[in-house]
Amino acid sequence: MRRSFLTAGLLLLAAICTLAQNASTPSPLSSFDLTAIDKSVDPCQDFYQYACGAWMKNNPIPPDQSSWGRFNELHERNQTILRGILEKQSADNASRSAVNQKIGDYYYSCMDEAAIEAKGTAPVKPYMDKIDAMKDKSEIPTVLGGLHRAGANAFFGFSSQPDFKDSKVNIATADQGGLSLPDRDYYFKTDVKSVELREKLEKHIAKTFELYGESPAKAAADAKTVMKVETALAKVSLDRTEQRDPTKVYHKMSAADLQKLSPAFAWDQYFTTIQPPSFDSLNVGEPDFVKGMNELIAGNDLDTVKTYLRWQTLRGASSMLPKAFVDEDFEFYGKTLRGAKELRPRWKRCVQHTDNDLGEALGQAYVAETFPPEAKARTLKMVHELEAALKQDIAELSWMTPDTRKQALEKLSRIDNKIGYPDKWRDYSALDIVRGDAMGNSVRANQFEFNRQLKKIGMPVDRNEWEMTPPTVNAYYNPLENNVNFPAGILQPPFYDQKADDAVNFGGIGMVIGHELTHGFDDEGSQFDADGNLKNWWTPQDKEQFDKLEQCFVNEYDSFVVVDDVHIKGKLTLGENTADNGGLRIAHMALLDVLGTTPTKEIDGYTPEQRFFISFAQVWCTNETPQQTRLQALSNEHSDARFRVNGVVSNMPEFAKAFGCKANSPMIRKPACRVW
């Protein structure tokens, strides 16, 4: 339910340039970049091309990436810093702190490919054997519970979440899951590329089974079975656009009612295995999915379910299995699906795994090295400046009536700010990290996280917790907690540059802050009140007006073609587009406030407002493979980089004025869309 700023898959870290840097710390990235600009392009014709044209020409996609942009550059820089931390801590040294022992030994074990090769498939065998040993369908819930604890994505997910209608308390939740492709539509689309993708997935599944020792004939038959099961699950799944609607994924019921939905699956046995705290009711995200899963289990033989579970187990384990499994996984998920040419070096993958599994342990060293208290203080100051701008914007909106305006201002005033890293670090003492046991460490980390989530059931929501690790180059708004969260990883150049002028920083991190604040008022966030409860605070008249204004964005982004005949999905990306448009507008307002009445001074031949818009656009300079562009448009809530720039500036008369665009320029949209 959280709304993030960027593609969820992007993770990384960085350092603040004011710090004394150790020898291994890479230098900070540049923010405003004159060499990125293509001056042969008219900014009023295609602003993205103008601001990023030369950058795109000079920064081809590295072979181990499927897209390459300024976010990635910062991510890579952060990874290099983390690598330095992890290499230092991976030496077996009795003087390490308990936290450093965990991150160091986790990384060491992940990097020890010789040991991983020597063990072969033995580390995953106990799980596969348990699946094979089932003699009756009644054993499925018990075996599935064990697989879920170990981290496998089979059938559904079970966890905790704040109750949408009582957001101070966590409740248990069961949600749809268990697919190998990014969205349910991938299983049904009939265009050539989609058919080809499914054929390649089937081959990939077969090859993975072969690597585990199956004969080619059995592996091929098993792959067909897996496709059949996943297609049946996809059929009863909500698509990503529907999942954005909180009312479609909130169905509170008793465990007895859940059991009625799926007579063929004994939930009490599942609960006996996973051991959640006792609860009276839970949220069943998608009741139709549970019914569909029941039909699938009831209508197929046990071997079919076993084959599916074996596939999801191997898939989940592949990154800590021998190289043949890793390469095969990359062949499909890296090359075919995303268009990358080469597997990322082992160290990058192991840095990533450590961040995923021990993020708040690794994050402690990262923050100590890169994020001083003054960085936190200056970010907080900018957040307050952006909040003041949004307050002014809401106060002046012509379409809103006083009743709703009062509620909106109340909600804004109650947004909490979290900056850099948690006040209290997560305690990993219950998680054993054993030197030389890469798979065991990964499984235990999954079990630790699974249990951590379950323990929250029935407990008050801890709003100090973070959903992103400190080194992450990303940010999010949480509608259930009504707070904005900015990890240390994004609070650096090119987003924030202490040496740059205000215009550059407001176009960068100012826009990011504005974007997250606006999420509290997008099509989804606006359904939650100041306390984070799913509750309508709109008058019918204002709601109607809001929906009408939002529809303008839906139509605008629906019209953008990103590759071949693939359009952006205007409804899937509506929340992000609302946040991009509102975010840049309030960042611009905040900049004007800060500049005040001081006379406009040009730098490098650009006025402050021109620098603001160029700085904003340059955050999005990106090259990507056509496969990645397609994947993003079909399954991601964020629009393609070019349209995150052009789609926004073309709605802003302030932009046209700053660059002196003529009335019929392509960068002036008629009528302009605006909500906030």
Residues in contact with Zn ion by CB under 5 A are 3, 5, 576, 579
User: Is 580 an active-site residue?
Assistant: yes
Distance CA 406, CA 539 (A): 11
Per-residue CA distances from 144 to 138, 269, 273, 457, 536 (Å)? 11, 10, 9, 20, 38
The residue (of 360 and 524) whose beta carbon lies closer to Zn ion is: 524
Are 106 and 658 a contacting pair, CB within 8 Å? no
Which string of DSSP letters, residue by residue, matches 106-165?
Answer: HHHHHH-HHHHHHHTTGGGHHHHHHHHT--SGGGHHHHHHHHHHHT---SEEEEEEEETT
Strand partners, 4: 476
With a CB cutoff of 8 Å and minimum separation 6, the contacts of 31 are 493, 494, 495, 496, 497, 500, 504, 505, 508, 615, 618
Is 516 annotated as catalytic?
A: yes
Beta bridge partners of 281: 254
The residue number with the shortest CB distance to Zn ion is 5
Name the DSSP letter for residue 603. Answer: B
Query: Distance between CA 573 and CA 558 in Å, rounded?
Result: 9
Contacts with 302 (C-beta within 8 Å, 6 or more apart), sequence order: 134, 135, 136, 137, 140
Nearest to 234, CA basis, from 276, 177, 291: 177
What are the angstrom distances between the C-alpha of 617 and each of 4, 12, 497, 509?
Answer: 19, 21, 16, 12
DSSP state of 331: I
Q: Dig out the tokens for 410 from the structure.
A: 């109340």
Catalytic residue, chosen from 230, 516, 523, 637, is 516
Asked whether the beta carbons of 577 and 549 are under 8 A apart, the reply is: no
**CA-CA distance, 650 to 653, in Å (whole number)?**
8
Answer whether 512's CB lies under 8 Å from 495's CB. yes
132's tokens: 């094979």
Q: Write a three-state SS string for 42-92.
A: CCCCCHHHHHHHHHHHHCCCCCCCCEEEHHHHHHHHHHHHHHHHHHHHCCC
Spatial contact of 482 and 530, defined as CB atoms under 8 Å apart: yes
- Phi first, then psi, for residue 49 (nearest 5°) are -65, -40
User: Which residues are CB-neighbours of 262 under 8 A, at least 6 positions away?
Assistant: 290, 291, 293, 294, 297
Between 70 and 204, CB nearer to Zn ion: 70
- What is the token pair recorded at 96? 């390490």
Q: Confirm if 578 and 522 have CB atoms less than 8 A apart.
A: yes
CA distances 150 to 146, 311, 591, Å, are: 6, 14, 49
| Closest to Zn ion by CB, 33 or 576 | 576
Q: Is 2 helix (H, G, I), strand (E, B) or coil?
A: coil
- In the complex with Zn ion, which residue's Cβ is closer, 99 or 512? 512
Cβ proximity of 569 and 662 under 8 Å: no
Residue 475: φ, ψ to 5°: -160, 165
What sign does the dihedral 522-527-530-534 (CA atoms) show? negative
Catalytic residue among 580, 624, 637, 640: 580
Of 476 and 613, CB closest to Zn ion:
476
**Nearest distance from C-beta of residue 385 to Zn ion, angstroms:** 20
507 within 8 A of 580, measured Cβ to Cβ: no
* Residues 6+ positions from 602 with CB-CB distance below 8 Å: none
